[in-house]
Amino acid sequence: MWFDHYIRSADWLAGSMAAWDREKNEWPDKAKYDRMIRDVIAESENAVFLPVSLSTDGVKIRRLVVDRTQGALGAR
C-alpha cells in the first residue's frame, strides 16, 4: 500500500520503547532496535516519552529522557 511507510513509523517507535527493559538497559534483539533508539529516540527534540505504571498504590507517570552516554544509552 502507498501509505504503509506513513503508518509504520509509529509501530517502529512504539515497538522499540516496548521492547526496552529499562531496569537492565537492554533489548531482546539489540540489532533490531539499536538504530531506532540511537538515531530517532535518543535526544529527540520532537518527542516526549511518558512511562505509566499502574499498581495498588496508584498511577505513576514520569518523563523518560533518553540520551547517549559513552556510546551506550542511558535513561534519566
Average the pLDDT over 47-76 and give the result.
Answer: 78
What is the sign, positive or negative, of the torsion defined by CA atoms of 6, 10, 13, 19? negative
Residue range 20-50, pLDDT digits in tens? 887 787 888 888 888 888 888 888 888 888 8
- Per-domain residue ranges of the chain: 4-75
| pLDDT attached to residue 16 | 86
Strands of the chain, DSSP E: 52-55, 58-61, 66-69, 72-75
C-alpha cell at 61: 507517570
